[in-house]
């Protein structure tokens, strides 16, 4: 013993080993579990259990360590170890995880890791961040969407994934959300969309102890500034009541519940900024809305290896004065009502110590009704001046859906293999569309309107009812392989299919790696590539089935008379109907995303990352009129028996490049968050599946900057702590302007669209305005007891300011040469708004 002490004095410290074994609740060994050893100095050590469930870290200096063990399907296990002159032997017992628990607890400090899924360019908002950052109206999806890459969205738009399944809404109150992620594991084969194009939301699981929250959010126009385009500040108010409550059912230790509710009362107003024959019109118009959402879930631990959870969700929305605002006058408004029922079931089973299976299913029914205020009145559209007359938007939509996922995880040695089937939806859609039954007259300018010279009349006639099945299906397999302690490789393959498309070979390989070249693991190199297939969305399928020339007849008449478009004789029934078709060679478009980067640990809790991402869009969707009048004189349509022959093609393309610099973690001891600057460019030759070129026979001017081509983006979000007085949540966003297109505002080629451009002018050739926005949340938490637990009763009071500096951020610049607003912005983001928040947590 004396010799050991003398050696320790000479060498400075003793060294030892941390060894142990990992078992489940039944005593079975758990192979392939991730073991992390947090040490006093330096980056953490990461390893995995061998086939016998054991692990070993050798020759560690004396000191205090924390050991953490993670494995899919189990709760995280941890232990504190004080290592002296003898080895530490541990026995870690993993318990089955509660429903929806995701094993990403880890250290709150930012650290680089050679794990393929732990990229540092992720935007991750845990519950603590959501409690401190400003979120307007508790709309978490809208707050997160600003961090998405528009080039990665695809034809169907943003992919929202709630508890592992695609969804339209979160389904629970904002306070019942546990975490929000964007770009987590960007090349994962488990998801249909890239990480930069999806929002992952994880809700809180039911808990074994009683706790919850009640929150009140309030806005009033007396605290707001006036919009730059408004003549007066509108009388607005918004009230939100929400909360959640969770705990055990009775005295049961195996059954728990979670209830959540949200009720919003919005008495807001839309801003009308238009020009009519009487002059410029600036008018605030009431747009009241009411929204109620309730949900309840029961979680039951059936056995030590099986957990079942069932959640029911009900939502009801209604609003008045929809569609009014911008160029649209109040007379063209409408009311809407929406109701949705959802049943969510999740079953998780640990089949063996190495295999975990999770099955999720969602059943839903939705109904949506839109009713125009002025039926029987034709709609009047004067391009980029005003829209009046009838709303012409009457429709009733229903949706019955079933979704399910079944994902199995298998760990062996250095491999973690996941495979499964994902069904985003088998959906029966019903549509009773009475929109535009009274017709729409369109004019190129105010002068043409005053002279009764419309360039177009559109009307729908015939069978308005349609029902069809939309089916989407995916399979995937992925292997996360720990090739070496400093090298992780992820290889995956996904297959996606949807009905109404003709190709069935949509195999999408995915690959990513993370490598740490230095012994201290302070630098990580990353790279990856993958293919991501797109879907058409339900709108294109509905148009294909109903606009077949006979079911629902869409009539397009150029240069009509007014008020009777056929005053020269004839009947509407004798006019040729427009037809929508899929091109014979239509295929599923796909994105090829690829990239690489380097991450560097600057300090214990500060990481710098530089990442490049390239996205190539192949076979992108677009629409063309293959029966448009032929150039150069455009006399008439080639096929007289058909109107517009809208052909949906997969012939477009897109190219995007971006370079992102991310600083994440704690800067000094006051600021903790993420700062990111992105520089990029994006070009394409289509605006999407519903977009037509200016000339269907000449596409030379279509390849240009995309509508989302914003060269510079800067985002900073985090919290500033000033002692014990308050915490300041900050979201700062700066970006350069997107482009916009110059048009003549006239239909010179007689195809029924006033999107013609001057000769030689490409699409999106004009530069729009940039934007700068600062949102702040000042809050203080009052502890009501002496307990330091997170669930201890407390009262959190805060005030939030959106667009704090009250800058004018223009959003819409008119490129129509025939409009009196040409070259001018006609809309701006809201001026400064204040929001008060009071939350009781227990």
Q: How many CA atoms, within 13 angstroms, populate the side-chain half-sphere of residue 715?
A: 21
Structure token digits, residue 396: 């009733």
Residue-wise pLDDT tens digits, 575-620: 999 999 999 999 999 999 999 999 999 988 899 999 999 999 999 9
Question: 131: part of which helix (H) or strand (E)?
Answer: helix 127-132
d(CA 607, CA 599): 7
User: Does the CA dihedral 786-790-792-793 come out positive or negative?
Assistant: positive
Residue of 56 and 614 predicted with greater confidence: 614
Burial zone of 45 (CB within 10 Å; 0-12 exposed, 13-18 middle, 19+ buried): middle
pLDDT band at 15 (very low <50, low <70, confident <90, very high): low
Q: Note whether 676 and 735 are within 8 A (CB).
A: no
Burial 12-30 (b: 16+ CB within 10 A, else e): eebebebebbbbbeeeebb
Q: Say which DSSP state 685 is in.
A: S
Given the candidates 3.40.50.12780, 3.30.360.10, 2.40.170.20, 2.60.40.420, the CATH classification of the domain at 211-841 is 2.40.170.20
Establish whether the linkage from the previous residue to 813 is cis, with ω within 30° of 0.
Answer: no
Residue 777: per-residue pLDDT: 96
Q: What percent of the chain has pLDDT over 70?
A: 94
Q: Tell me the three state secondary structure of residue 667.
A: strand
d(CA 123, CA 662): 10
Residue 66: per-residue pLDDT: 85
Strand partners, 38: 66
Give residue for tokens 């807001």. Answer: 268
pLDDT surpassing 50 at residue 12? no
> Which range is least confidently modeled, 413-417, 424-428, 827-831?
413-417
Q: Note whether 71 and 94 are within 8 A (CB).
A: yes
pLDDT surpassing 50 at residue 529? yes
Domains 15-94 and 211-841 share a fold: no
**pTM for this model (two decimals):** 0.87
Burial zone of 61 (CB within 10 Å; 0-12 exposed, 13-18 middle, 19+ buried): middle
Residue-wise pLDDT tens digits, 655-689: 999 999 999 988 877 788 999 999 999 999 999 99
pLDDT band at 790 (very low <50, low <70, confident <90, very high): low
Residue of 787 and 312 predicted with greater confidence: 312
Q: Note whether 701 and 694 are within 8 A (CB).
A: yes
Of 659, 716, 649, 818, which is closest to residue 133 (Cα–Cα)? 716
Residue 103: per-residue pLDDT: 29
> Which range is least confidently modeled, 275-284, 564-573, 579-588?
564-573
Question: 542: part of which helix (H) or strand (E)?
Answer: helix 538-546
> Which range is least confidently modeled, 6-15, 420-429, 588-597, 617-626?
6-15
pLDDT band at 25 (very low <50, low <70, confident <90, very high): low
pLDDT band at 87 (very low <50, low <70, confident <90, very high): low
Of 284, 245, 288, 290, which is closest to residue 263 (Cα–Cα)? 290
Q: Output the CA torsion 8→13→15→20 (10° steps).
A: 130
- What value does the mean pLDDT take over residues 18-38? 77
Residue-wise pLDDT tens digits, 315-329: 999 999 999 999 999
CATH architecture of the domain 15-94 equals Sandwich (2.60)
Structure token digits, residue 42: 């330096």
pLDDT band at 9 (very low <50, low <70, confident <90, very high): very low
pLDDT band at 18 (very low <50, low <70, confident <90, very high): confident
pLDDT surpassing 60 at residue 109? no
pLDDT surpassing 80 at residue 180? yes
pLDDT surpassing 80 at residue 113? yes
Phi, psi of 635 (to 5 degrees): -75, -45
Q: Note whether 440 and 457 are within 8 A (CB).
A: yes
pLDDT surpassing 70 at residue 52? no
Of 615, 529, 610, 488, which is closest to residue 187 (Cα–Cα)? 529
pLDDT surpassing 50 at residue 152? yes
> Which residues 6+ apart lie within 8 Å of 125 measured at CB?
133, 144, 179, 180, 181
Residue of 250 and 451 predicted with greater confidence: 451
Structure token digits, residue 261: 């509710």
pLDDT surpassing 60 at residue 750? yes
Give the residue extent of every domain in the chain. 15-94, 123-203, 211-841
What is the residue-wise DSSP string for 9-47?
HHHSS-EEEEEEEEEETTS-B-TT-EEEEE-SSSSPEEE
pLDDT band at 789 (very low <50, low <70, confident <90, very high): low
Residue 682: per-residue pLDDT: 97
Give residue for tokens 């009145």. Answer: 377
Residue 55: per-residue pLDDT: 86
Residue 520: per-residue pLDDT: 82
Distance from chain centroid for Cα 766: 28
pLDDT surpassing 80 at residue 775? yes
d(CA 71, CA 77): 9
d(CA 315, CA 297): 15
Residue of 78 and 826 predicted with greater confidence: 826
Residue-wise pLDDT tens digits, 331-385: 999 999 999 999 999 999 989 888 999 999 999 999 999 999 998 999 999 999 9
d(CA 313, CA 170): 10
Residue 280: per-residue pLDDT: 96
> Which range is least confidently modeled, 114-123, 452-461, 557-566, 809-818?
114-123
Q: Note whether 349 and 166 are within 8 A (CB).
A: no
- What value does the mean pLDDT take over residues 30-56? 76
Residue-wise pLDDT tens digits, 209-236: 899 999 999 999 999 999 999 999 999 9
User: Does the CA dihedral 547-549-550-552 come out positive or negative?
Assistant: positive
Q: What percent of the chain has pLDDT over 90?
A: 72
- What value does the mean pLDDT take over residues 818-828? 96
Phi, psi of 171 (to 5 degrees): 95, -15
Q: Note whether 824 and 813 are within 8 A (CB).
A: yes
Mean of pLDDT over the chain:
90
Q: Tell me the three state secondary structure of residue 783.
A: strand
Residue 1: per-residue pLDDT: 37
Q: Note whether 671 and 718 are within 8 A (CB).
A: yes
Residue-wise pLDDT tens digits, 60-77: 888 888 898 987 767 788
């Amino acid at each position: 013993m004396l010799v050991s002490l003398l050696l320790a004095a000479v060498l400075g410290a003793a060294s030892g080993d941390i060894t142990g074994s990992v078992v489940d609740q039944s005593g079975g060994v758990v192979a392939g579990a991730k073991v992390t050893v947090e040490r006093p100095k330096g980056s953490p050590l990461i390893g995995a259990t061998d086939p016998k469930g054991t692990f070993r870290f050798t020759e560690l200096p004396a000191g205090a360590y924390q050991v953490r063990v993670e494995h899919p399907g189990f709760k995280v296990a941890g232990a504190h170890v004080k290592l002296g002159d003898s080895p530490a032997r541990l026995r870690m017992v993993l318990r089955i995880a509660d429903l929806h628990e995701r094993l990403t607890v880890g250290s709150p400090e930012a650290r680089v890791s050679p794990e393929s899924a732990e990229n540092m360019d992720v935007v991750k908002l845990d519950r603590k961040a959501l409690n401190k950052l400003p979120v307007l109206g508790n709309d978490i999806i809208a707050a997160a969407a600003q961090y998405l890459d528009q080039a990665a969205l695809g034809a169907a738009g943003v992919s929202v994934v709630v508890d592992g399944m695609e969804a339209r809404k979160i389904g629970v109150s904002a306070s019942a959300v546990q975490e929000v992620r964007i770009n987590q594991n960007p090349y994962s084969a488990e998801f249909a969309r890239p990480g930069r194009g999806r929002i992952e939301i994880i809700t809180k699981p039911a808990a074994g102890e009683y706790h919850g929250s009640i929150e009140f959010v309030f806005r009033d126009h007396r605290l707001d500034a006036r919009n730059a385009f408004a003549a007066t500040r509108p009388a607005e108010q918004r009230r939100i009541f929400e909360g959640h409550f969770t705990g055990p059912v009775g005295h049961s230790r195996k059954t728990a519940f979670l209830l959540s509710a949200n009720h919003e009362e919005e008495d807001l107003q839309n801003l009308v900024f238009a020009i009519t024959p009487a002059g410029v019109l600036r008018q605030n118009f009431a747009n009241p809305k009411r929204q109620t959402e309730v949900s309840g879930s029961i979680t039951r631990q059936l056995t030590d290896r099986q957990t079942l959870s069932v959640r029911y969700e009900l939502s009801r929305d209604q609003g008045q004065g929809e569609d009014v605002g911008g160029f649209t006058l109040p007379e063209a408004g409408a009311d809407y009502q929406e109701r949705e029922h959802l049943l969510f079931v999740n079953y998780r089973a640990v089949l063996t110590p190495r295999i975990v299976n999770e099955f999720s299913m969602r059943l839903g029914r939705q109904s949506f009704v839109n009713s125009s205020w002025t039926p029987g009145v034709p709609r009047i559209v004067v391009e980029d001046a005003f829209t009046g007359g009838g709303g012409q938007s009457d429709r009733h939509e229903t949706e019955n859906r079933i979704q399910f996922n079944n994902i199995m995880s298998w760990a062996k040695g250095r491999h973690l293999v996941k495979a499964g089937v994902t069904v985003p939806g088998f959906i029966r859609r019903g549509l009773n569309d009475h929109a535009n039954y009274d017709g729409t007259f369109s004019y190129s300018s105010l002068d043409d309107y005053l002279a009764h010279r419309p360039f177009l009349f559109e009307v729908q006639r015939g069978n308005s009812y349609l029902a069809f099945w939309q089916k989407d299906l995916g399979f995937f397999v992925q292997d996360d392989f720990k090739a070496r302690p400093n090298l992780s490789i992820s290889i995956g393959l996904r297959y996606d299919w949807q009905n109404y498309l003709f190709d069935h070979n949509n195999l999408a390989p995915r690959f990513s790696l993370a490598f740490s070249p230095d012994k201290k693991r302070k630098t990580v190199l990353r790279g990856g590539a993958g293919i991501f297939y797109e879907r058409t969305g339900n709108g294109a399928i509905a148009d294909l089935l109903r606009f077949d020339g006979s079911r629902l007849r869409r009539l397009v008449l150029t240069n009509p008379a007014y008020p009777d478009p056929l005053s020269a004789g004839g009947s509407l029934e004798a006019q040729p109907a427009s037809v929508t078709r899929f091109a014979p060679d239509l295929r599923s478009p796909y994105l090829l995303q690829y990239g690489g980067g380097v991450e560097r640990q600057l300090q214990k809790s500060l990481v710098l990352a530089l990442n490049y991402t390239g996205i190539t869009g192949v076979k992108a969707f677009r629409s063309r009129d293959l029966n448009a009048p032929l150039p150069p004189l455009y006399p008439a349509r080639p096929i007289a028996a058909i109107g517009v022959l809208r052909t949906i093609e997969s012939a477009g393309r897109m190219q995007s490049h971006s370079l992102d610099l991310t600083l994440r973690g704690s800067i000094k001891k006051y600021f903790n968050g993420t700062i990111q600057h992105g520089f990029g460019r994006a070009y394409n030759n289509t605006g999407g599946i519903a977009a037509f070129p200016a000339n269907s026979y000449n596409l030379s001017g279509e390849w240009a900057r995309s509508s989302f081509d914003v060269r510079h983006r800067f985002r900073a979000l985090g919290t500033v702590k000033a002692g014990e007085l308050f915490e300041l949540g900050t979201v700062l966003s700066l970006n350069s302007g997107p482009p916009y297109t110059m048009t003549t505002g006239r239909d010179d080629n007689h195809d029924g669209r006033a999107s013609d451009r001057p000769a030689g002018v490409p699409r999106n050739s004009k530069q729009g305005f940039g934007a700068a926005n600062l949102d702040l949340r000042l809050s203080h938490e009052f502890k009501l007891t002496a307990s330091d637990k997170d669930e201890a009763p407390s009262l959190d009071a805060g005030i939030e300011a959106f667009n704090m500096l009250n800058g004018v951020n223009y959003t819409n610049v008119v490129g129509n040469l025939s409009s009196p607003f040409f070259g001018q912005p006609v809309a701006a983001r809201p001026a400064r708004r204040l929001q008060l928040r009071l939350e009781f947590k227990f």
